[in-house]
Amino acid sequence: MKIRSDIVRMYRDIHSWVGIVCGLALFIAFYAGSITMFEAPLQRWASAPMSISEHTPLEKTPELVEKVLAEYPKAAINYEITLEPGIERPARMSWSSGPRGSGTTYYAELGEDGSLQVHSEGPSAVGQLVDDLHRQIGILIDHDIAMPIMGTISLLYFIALVSGVIVLLPTLVKDLFILRIGKNLKRMWLDLHNALGLFSLPFHIIMALTAVVFAFHDQFYGAQGALLEKNGRAPAEVQVQHHQPPLNPQQIVARLQEQAPGFEPIYLNYHFDKDHGLEMRVAGSNSRYGMRGATFGYAGVDPFTGDITVTSYMPGEQDGWFATVTSFFALHFGNFGGNPVRWAYFLLGLAGAVLFYTGNLLWIETHRKKRRKGYEHLGVTQTRASKILGALTVGVCLGCIAGISTTIAAAKLLPLRAIGADAMFTWHSGIYYGVFILAIAWAFVRGAASGAVDLLYASAVATLLIPLVSLLSALVPGFGWNHGGSGYLIDLVAAVGAVSFVFLAQKTRKRIHSAPEYSIWYVADVLSTKPDTIGKMEASTAK
Give contact residues for another protein (rule: CB under 8 A).
Answer: 4, 6-7, 9-11, 13-14, 17, 155, 158-159, 162-163, 208-210, 212-213, 216-217, 220-221, 223-225, 227-235, 312, 319, 321-322, 324-325, 328
Query: Considering the complex, what minimum distance in angstroms separates the CB of residue 481 from another protein?
Result: 43
How far apart, in whole angstroms, are the C-alpha atoms of residue 466 and residue 403? 12
Instruction: Give the residue with the Cβ less far from another protein, 112 or 319.
Output: 319
Instruction: Give the residue with the Cβ less far from another protein, 57 or 222.
Output: 222
Residue type, 390: G
Handedness of CA 255, 256, 262, 268 (dihedral sign): negative
- Half-sphere exposure (Cβ direction) of 257: Cα atoms closer than 13 Å: 7
* Main-chain dihedrals φ then ψ at residue 94, nearest 5 degrees: -145, 155
How far apart, in whole angstroms, are the C-alpha atoms of residue 275 and residue 257? 29
How far apart, in whole angstroms, are the C-alpha atoms of residue 141 and residue 127? 18
> Edge-to-edge, what's the strand order for the sheet holding 297-301?
116-119, 105-110, 93-96, 78-82, 264-273, 277-285, 297-301, 308-310
How far apart, in whole angstroms, are the C-alpha atoms of residue 315 and residue 313? 6
CA nearest to 399, candidates 438, 360, 428, 429: 438
Query: Considering the complex, what minimum distance in angstroms separates the CB of residue 224 from another protein?
Result: 5
Terminal CA-to-CA distance of the chain, rounded, Å?
29
How far apart, in whole angstroms, are the C-alpha atoms of residue 491 and residue 470? 7
Query: Considering the complex, what minimum distance in angstroms separates the CB of residue 324 from another protein?
Result: 7
Asked if 124 and 424 count as a contact pair (C-beta separation under 8 A), the reply is yes
Query: Considering the complex, what minimum distance in angstroms separates the CB of residue 412 from another protein?
Result: 40
What single string gives the DSSP state of each residue in 46-71?
Answer: HSPPPS--PPPPGGGHHHHHHHHHHH
Query: Considering the complex, what minimum distance in angstroms separates the CB of residue 159 from another protein?
Result: 5
Query: Considering the complex, what minimum distance in angstroms separates the CB of residue 448 from another protein?
Result: 26
Query: Considering the complex, what minimum distance in angstroms separates the CB of residue 204 from another protein?
Result: 12
Instruction: Give the residue with the Cβ less far from another protein, 323 or 441.
Output: 323
How far apart, in whole angstroms, are the C-alpha atoms of residue 31 and residue 403? 12
Instruction: Give the residue with the Cβ less far from another protein, 203 or 433.
Output: 203
Instruction: Give the residue with the Cβ less far from another protein, 10 or 40.
Output: 10
Instruction: Give the residue with the Cβ less far from another protein, 281 or 417.
Output: 281
Query: Considering the complex, what minimum distance in angstroms separates the CB of residue 203 from another protein?
Result: 16
Query: Considering the complex, what minimum distance in angstroms separates the CB of residue 254 from another protein?
Result: 29
CA nearest to 126, candidates 35, 31, 24, 28: 35
Instruction: Give the residue with the Cβ less far from another protein, 234 or 475.
Output: 234
Query: Considering the complex, what minimum distance in angstroms separates the CB of residue 231 from another protein?
Result: 6
Instruction: Give the residue with the Cβ less far from another protein, 68 or 168.
Output: 168
Instruction: Give the residue with the Cβ less far from another protein, 128 or 326.
Output: 326
Determine the Cα angle at 47 with ends 43 and 50, to 5°: 130
Instruction: Give the residue with the Cβ less far from another protein, 201 or 437.
Output: 201
How far apart, in whole angstroms, are the C-alpha atoms of residue 27 and residue 78? 38
Sequence-separated contacts (24+) of 141-147 with Cβ below 8 Å: 147/214, 147/215, 147/216
Query: Considering the complex, what minimum distance in angstroms separates the CB of residue 298 from another protein?
Result: 14
Q: At what angle do helices 201-227 and 320-333 cross, to 10 degrees?
A: 130
H or E element at residue 508: helix 487-514
* Alpha helices (H) in 381-420, listed in sequence order: 384-413
Query: Considering the complex, what minimum distance in angstroms separates the CB of residue 475 from another protein?
Result: 51
How far apart, in whole angstroms, are the C-alpha atoms of residue 332 and residue 325? 12
Instruction: Give the residue with the Cβ less far from another protein, 319 or 532.
Output: 319
Query: Considering the complex, what minimum distance in angstroms separates the CB of residue 289 from another protein?
Result: 15
Quickly count: other Cβ atoms within 10 Å of residue 284's Cβ: 24
CA nearest to 92, candidates 142, 57, 66: 57
Instruction: Give the residue with the Cβ less far from another protein, 52 or 323.
Output: 323
What single string gives the DSSP state of each residue in 150-178?
Answer: HHHHHHHHHHHHHHHHHHHGGGHHHHTT-
Query: Considering the complex, what minimum distance in angstroms separates the CB of residue 444 from another protein?
Result: 30
Instruction: Give the residue with the Cβ less far from another protein, 144 or 319.
Output: 319
Instruction: Give the residue with the Cβ less far from another protein, 72 or 328.
Output: 328
Asked if 122 and 50 count as a contact pair (C-beta separation under 8 A), the reply is no
